[in-house]
Structure 1
Amino acid sequence: MFSPLRSHSQTHPSAMPSRRSTQDEQYALLQNGENGSQELDDDYSHRAGESKRRPAWYQPEARQSALTWILALLVIVVATDGIALFYMSRIMKTVFADLGTDELEFANPYHGLETLYRSGKINASKIDPIQNLPRVVAQVFPDRPKELAPIGEHDLFNKVFGTLSPHEKHLHVSPNVHTIAQFRALDFGMEECSVVIQLPGHGDRIEGSEPFRFNQLSVFDVYRLNAPKPLDVRKLSYSTKPPAQERVASLMAKGGEETLVTTFPCPWGTLHTFEVVCGEGSDCLVDIWSSQNTTYGIYMYQHQTI
């Protein structure tokens, strides 16, 4: 009677583990599903928090757009600066260019005077010779041919007026120093000129602190230079000085008097340039400064011709 039950009970235990394993698997899958869902929720919340914390421009698209605008603005600024610099450079080379006055026409302030005096209807007044100081007096150095002529040796600075350039000229001649002087004849009807050298004599007052040095046995040669334009002292040196045309005098200067160098016609407005050097074989020396009140050195007289 009990054998069927036993056989049933024998088969039932074999089915029980299968059921439990299925439940266990479902429970494990449920747990895994819950864990995965929680991980996804955590990852989403983490990304959402990051997106909330980051500003809008931090997004890749916004960053790329911002970089594009920055580069465009930089290109515009650079192009504007380049155009401005080019324009300023062009203005400095044209409008504000330092062209000098060498090429400008020397205007005639004496219109009609020549015709008037040639007509014979008027007689000129008697006029004494006019002293004409050189426009340029500068030294060049044959042993240093590229050294520029000195400029502003006696310039001084004043707190009120700034830099002052005293009206002084320097005649300095030695075997290694030449002096170049340039004159411009200006006055109408005073067109006969004579160049002279004047040195102080014994007991004459010399202004300033510069000593007067002079070798009385000195022999000087004076040359006329071919210089139809005003000299630019800033560029003047022995290697750039105008070429010599002719020797106009060889002389021995004397202290305390004027020594005539040469006489020549000098139409108004013309330039006349001379170079004073040591005569051949002469160990010459003269070193003298003129001032506002003295005319030592080399200068010119204009004599009346009408």
Structure 2
Amino acid sequence: MTRSTEYESYALLSNDERESFEFEREVDNSSGAHKQARSARPRSHDRCAALPWVFALLVVVAAANGITLLYMSRIMNTVYADLSTDELEFANPYHGLDALYRSGTIASSKIDPIQNIPRVVAQVFPGRPKELAPVGEHDLFNKAFGTLSPHEKHLQVSPSVHTIAQFRALDFGMEECSLVIQLPGNGDRIESKEPFLFDPLSTLDVFRLDAPKPLDVRKLSYTTRPPTKEKIATVTPRAGEETPVTRFPCVWGSLHTFEVACSSASDCLVDIWSSQNTTYGIYMYQHQTV
């Protein structure tokens, strides 16, 4: 029945019938509200019962993520760790030769001095003590082979630049070394595109550094360079000549590190690159000792 029809029927009822009709309507309304309340109560109860399960699921997911991150961190620190080789033993490839030559049962052959170029040559800057040494200045990219690093060394010395060079003596029985500096002459060919810069009045101080381990050029700066052990020479190099610096014992496998700087009384300038085919700058010879 529609609302208007209901009102028309209600107007035709007597007082007693109206009271009975209103009572029935109130009973129906209260019964509907009671049913609605009963139907809403289980839903609220179901939500409360589901909360612990949702919370438990979140805990499980968070724990799984934490374990995964810890496992990945362990892999990165072990399997893919950037491990240094500084602590590895430098194995002896000449096992037994020392005892053999000491026995006197064999005569050694005469061997000319062997040229030994530095493993590391890098520049540091006294005026910018925290600036890292340049790396890969002449690196080039090739589409077929990727990045190529030419075998070039750089000797650069000025009031604002020092050069550090590190050598490793390798050959057995060639355990006396001489350090030298060589510069090109006027008619010498220079393969590098860099110009040869040189002040003929330059005077250089050469220091021995206390570096028992290989240098990491990526971390090398004037501040982090190895401490100075001693000053070994003051030299005045000449263009087109090989200038001796010092001579010293060099047991095979040992490291020898030097720093070249302007003498305090000289406003010097030396800047020369060497290539695979030319050896300019600083290097050493190993001389026969057996």
Separation in structure 2 between the aligned mates of residue 63 and residue 41 of structure 1, nearest angstrom: 25
Separation in structure 2 between the aligned mates of residue 91 and residue 39 of structure 1, nearest angstrom: 69
Bigger Rg, structure 1 or 2 = 1
Aligned counterpart, 2:151: 167
- Say whether residues 1:184 and 2:174 are aligned partners: no
RMSD: 2.4
In the TM superposition, residue 35 of structure 1 has moved relative to its aligned partner by 3.1
| Alpha-carbon distance change, 27 to 102 in structure 1, aligned in 2, over 3 angstroms | same
Separation in structure 2 between the aligned mates of residue 41 and residue 206 of structure 1, nearest angstrom: 107
- AA aligned to 2:220 is L
Separation in structure 2 between the aligned mates of residue 42 and residue 118 of structure 1, nearest angstrom: 114
Aligned counterpart, 2:263: 279
Aligned counterpart, 1:81: 65
Contact between 2:192 and 2:274, CA under 8 Å: does it hold in 1? no
| Alpha-carbon distance change, 239 to 43 in structure 1, aligned in 2, over 3 angstroms | closer
In the TM superposition, residue 60 of structure 1 has moved relative to its aligned partner by 1.9
- Say whether residues 1:233 and 2:217 are aligned partners: yes
Which segments of 5 or more consecutive residues in structure 1 lack a partner in the other structure?
1-22
In the TM superposition, residue 83 of structure 1 has moved relative to its aligned partner by 1.9
SS at match of 2:16: helix
For residues 200-234 of structure 1, the C-alpha deviation after alignment (integer angstroms, 9 at most, x for no partner) is 11121111321110001111111111111111112
Matches within 5 A, 1:29-48: 29-37=19-27, 39=29, 47=36
| Alpha-carbon distance change, 35 to 159 in structure 1, aligned in 2, over 3 angstroms | same
Aligned counterpart, 1:249: 233
| Alpha-carbon distance change, 275 to 27 in structure 1, aligned in 2, over 3 angstroms | same
Separation in structure 2 between the aligned mates of residue 77 and residue 31 of structure 1, nearest angstrom: 60
In the TM superposition, residue 41 of structure 1 has moved relative to its aligned partner by 7.0
Identity %: 69
Separation in structure 1 between the aligned mates of residue 221 and residue 33 of structure 2, nearest angstrom: 86
Which segments of 5 or more consecutive residues in structure 2 lack a partner in the other structure?
1-12
Matches within 5 A, 1:1-306: 24-37=14-27, 39=29, 47=36, 59-306=43-290
Separation in structure 2 between the aligned mates of residue 177 and residue 103 of structure 1, nearest angstrom: 30
- AA aligned to 1:28 is R
TM-score (ref. length: structure 1): 0.83
Separation in structure 1 between the aligned mates of residue 20 and residue 214 of structure 2, nearest angstrom: 109
